[in-house]
Amino acid sequence: MGLPEFESGSLAPKAVLYKEKLKIKLEDLDEFIGFRKIKGLCDEWIYLSRYFITNYLDYVNWIPDKKNTIDYLNNIQKDYSTTYYRKITYQIRKFLTYLKIDWAKDINPPSEPTYLPKRVTMEDINATLLYFKENEYFIQIKSLVLLGISSGMSAEELYQLDRENIDLDRGIVHINHNPNNGQSTKTKMSRISFFTYDTKDALSEYLTYFNNDKQLKQLFSQSHITRLFRDAPILVKDLRKFFSQEWDRRGGPTSIKKILMGHSLKGDVDLMHYNCQSEEDLKNIYDKVMNNTALNGK
């Protein structure tokens, strides 16, 4: 039996040969995860990365080879959506590449399927609020919904929000990239967005409730909110879709929408080199677009 397919001396420090195959040790995984943390990934993504890789290593008995890896990926593919399966596959490939296993480059997940955005209207928002009308957490849910549809924040950003990130007086929400505090954005950059007058009223009511409630530890805990929205007319991630679509329906400039939503500006020459707006500029434009007519889900 020949040696496994990697160059001599290229193994990660703790990896060893075991019966002429590469035997992975826990130290290898810890070291890899440590380097991932340096990149500024949030705690949730670090946890998922470790989870994906550990499940794979357990399947192959911590001795990765081509056949077992192919078997594992084929076995799990039918259990997950293409998007989620791609996430798992990429993390496994990154780890094997870190170990300098040559055949890792051949692990290529399927392409993303063609995606048609879901159209979200005010009727959908109203139906969702009506669905929760008698729920004991309605004050919380209403503030989440109105903040989501008026700020353009992603579901993950809403879940990570702290009380200190909300400036009620100025109508500003601070969306921080601070992995040490469990907060992250896709672009790894902090930003601000805004919310409407009606959202301010809903948030003010909820924050008073939150400060006096002994059970709620986070403004919008992911596990708690996900459970509440399991059978709702829309999902939390659809709130961001509504903001994007409603902004366009109201004739708002696309460049400003990209800034507020935290889209990557790479490849956008105007935003990268020319279009620079102050906080006051952004607020004035936002108010003209989103506060000129009611956006309150009533």
CATH code, domain carrying 199: 1.10.443.10
Would 133 be classed as within a structural domain? yes
- Residue 10 CB coordination number (10 Å): 11
Would 169 be classed as within a structural domain? yes
How would you classify the pairing of strands 16-18 and 172-175? unpaired
Would 296 be classed as within a structural domain? no
Q: What is the model's pTM?
A: 0.69
pLDDT tens for the chain, residues 1 to 298 = 343 444 444 454 556 655 456 788 999 999 999 998 888 777 778 889 999 999 999 999 999 999 999 999 999 999 998 989 999 999 999 999 999 999 999 999 988 877 778 999 999 999 999 999 999 999 999 999 999 999 999 999 999 999 999 999 999 999 998 888 888 888 888 999 999 999 999 999 999 999 888 788 899 999 999 999 999 999 999 999 999 999 999 999 999 999 999 988 887 777 777 788 899 999 999 999 999 766 655 4
Strand order in the sheet with 166-167: 166-167, 172-175, 191-194
- Residue 123 CB coordination number (10 Å): 9
End-of-domain residue from the set 46, 80, 106: 106
Domain membership of residue 59 as a residue range: 16-106
Decide: helix, strand or coil at residue 127.
helix
pLDDT of residue 14: 59
Shared domain check, 136 and 267: yes
End-of-domain residue from the set 74, 106, 138: 106
